[in-house]
Amino acid sequence: MRTLPALLVVALVVLAGCSTGFTGGDPFGDDTAPAPTATDPGPGDGEEPTDESTPTPTPDGFDFADPDQDRLGWEGGYWYNESLAYNASDGLNETERRALVARSMARVEHLRELEFRERVPIRVINRSTYQSQYAGGDANHTAEFRTFDNAKFESLFLIGEGQNSLNVQNQNRGSNVLGFYSPKNDSIVVVSDSTPPTLRDELTLGHELTHALQDQVYNLSNYTRPTRETYNAYNGLFEGDSHYTEQLYRQQCDSGWNCLSLPSEGGSGGGSDIHFGVYFLNFFPYSDGPPFVRHHRDAGGWDRVDAMYEDPPASSEQVISPEKYGEDQPTNVSLTDRNEGVWERVRPAPPREGQTRPAYASLGQSAMSAMFAYTITDPYNRSAVDGAREFINRDGGQVDRQDPFNYDLRWTSGWDGDRMHIYRNATAAAETNGSTNATAYVWKSVWDSPEDARQFARGYRLLLEHWKGERVSGDRVEYVYEVDRLPFEDAFRVRVDGDTVVITNAPTVDDLEEVRPDLVTSGVSVDDSGSGSGGSSDSGETAAAMGGA
């Protein structure tokens, strides 16, 4: 097994706030996250504290008297810059926790310049409780959904054929989550590594309170994020806003605010249990979201950020490159099914009644960058498509805590849209009573220019070679590779046609022709011609229909 680069190990410490975000949608883009089923009355509920835990005025002439009516920066009897008198060496009692939460709400108000409309229930649990209650397996999902999700993560070369992608993702989440906010229950859960569970600092609390504030003002439940790409794009704003506010909170704690900070106890919650590829995929909003929000706040204040909730980013590319927000809309890629023989389209049903979801995947620039970046850390071999220097941002020789990862890699720069259809060998599944799910996919991506498309295809060829793929045929415009070793044993055909790249995957080279016949006329490719910008067709048109891809 390879030794992880020292900088990458250091980079893990930047994880702060919630790694699952709020549970209004799935952190993996498929609405599968379990919502909290119960909320314990905690330090955000009930009456105000009335014991001797009185605030100590800061000696700056500030008038700490309670205002006649609610004010920005004041909540529940506490101003944002008050000091609290408590003995936190053995944890906080209930009254002290209530006071801390009220002051934290006031601080978030002061930093974010928005007013809370109501108090927020807080529950503090230990990691084992979180893992048992919220980070469950895939028992609630249909076979079609599991097949779809497995194939999607296999297409990114993150989770191999022999693993259950939902279980791997849930394990990752259970290992590193620090807390989350649930719009469904209007409540916060903070995860502690202490025994008994203890609220040990204000930063995670401030991060989650920002999500609660977002929900009270903008109603987070109204935002539909049906694909990985829309999930990461929207979270660039939602998590970027919360994480940027947390960064401002930290700066104030470092420069004068009286802040709770107890030494950590127990495990770190991460370490060897983390799947780095999934980690890179999910960390995107925390890395690139804060600079995105800071860019727009610097340009137009919090008013400009507030206005973005009416028009969230349309792509992760707009988060990666903030100047593209509102200017560079992604292509709405269309893709026509041409599968033949035993191959049938996989169309997962919505996970819960009343929900909708498309029968295709869109992965986006951030996910594609995670696909390449995972080669830095995977234990498969000693090669890497991009090294740590390309993916890990530095600030003065150290990992940049504000923006640790670079998702604008040379292979993914110029992304303009993508769409993936997933297929299953129906005969194999029937003969094994569903225990065998031989899958395939067609992944079409559109780029800003033919050169960007060729650059992605070059990087993808290096990716296949990293996973021990060998060229069967082809050239720079079209090539076929076979990977004959697990965990990604398959055949791949890659075709570049102008600004478009089409990847066809199947178990064998022969299967490629049934999943997507290789249509060539007079030596000129007509398969997937055009950018597909004319719509998002989800039909099963035949090759004769042609049109867009």
More confident residue, 453 or 522: 453
Residues 6 or more apart from 429 whose CB is under 8 A from it? 436, 437, 438
Distance, in Å, from the CA atom of 258 to the CA atom of 103, rounded to the nearest integer, reads 11
Region 344-359: mean pLDDT is 76
- Note the pLDDT of residue 144: 86
Distance, in Å, from the CA atom of 78 to the CA atom of 458, rounded to the nearest integer, reads 58
Q: Is the pLDDT of residue 138 over 70?
A: no
How much is the CA Rg of the chain, to the nearest whole Å? 25
Q: Is the pLDDT of residue 146 over 70?
A: yes
Q: What pLDDT digit, counting tens, does each position of 417-434 carry?
A: 999 999 999 887 666 555
- Note the pLDDT of residue 127: 86
Hey, which of 221-235, 250-264, 291-305 has the most confident mean pLDDT? 291-305
Helices (H) and strands (E) counted in the chain, each on its own, are 14, 18
Single-letter amino acid code for the residue at 95: T
Q: By percentage, how much of the chain surpasses pLDDT 90?
A: 49
Contact of 95 with 49, CB cutoff 8 Å: yes
**CB 369: neighbour CB atoms within 10 A?**
28
User: 364-373 vs 276-308: helix axis angle to the nearest 10?
Assistant: 150
Of the candidate ranges 308-317, 425-434, 480-489, the one whose mean pLDDT is the lowest: 425-434
Of the candidate ranges 22-26, 362-366, 420-424, 460-464, the one whose mean pLDDT is the lowest: 22-26
Alpha helices in 334-437 (DSSP H): 364-373, 388-391, 426-431
The CB-side HSE value for 241 (13 A sphere, CA atoms) comes to 31
- Note the pLDDT of residue 315: 97
Residue 474, classed as helix, strand or coil, is: strand
- Note the pLDDT of residue 354: 61
**CB 544: neighbour CB atoms within 10 A?**
6
Nearest to 99 by CA among 117, 116, 122, 115: 122
Q: Which two tokens stand for residue 402?
A: 């504000």
Q: Is the pLDDT of residue 416 over 50?
A: yes
| Strand ranges (E), 174-215 | 179-182, 187-192
Nearest to 483 by CA among 380, 386, 390, 385: 380
Q: By percentage, how much of the chain surpasses pLDDT 70?
A: 75
Q: Is the pLDDT of residue 54 over 70?
A: no
Q: Is the pLDDT of residue 191 over 80?
A: yes
- Note the pLDDT of residue 140: 66
Distance, in Å, from the CA atom of 261 to the CA atom of 333, rounded to the nearest integer, reads 49
How far, in Å, are 137, 214, 435 from residue 45 at the CA level?
31, 19, 48
Q: Which two tokens stand for residue 428?
A: 């194999």
Q: Which two tokens stand for residue 59?
A: 């000696």
Region 401-408: mean pLDDT is 89
Print the SS3 string covering 424-444: EEHHHHHHCCCCCCCEEEEEE
- Note the pLDDT of residue 320: 97
**CB 162: neighbour CB atoms within 10 A?**
8
Name the residue with tokens 């067609």.
442
Distance, in Å, from the CA atom of 100 to the CA atom of 90, rounded to the nearest integer, reads 15
Q: Name the pLDDT band for 436 (thresholds 50, 70, 90).
A: low
Distance, in Å, from the CA atom of 27 to the CA atom of 20, rounded to the nearest integer, reads 6
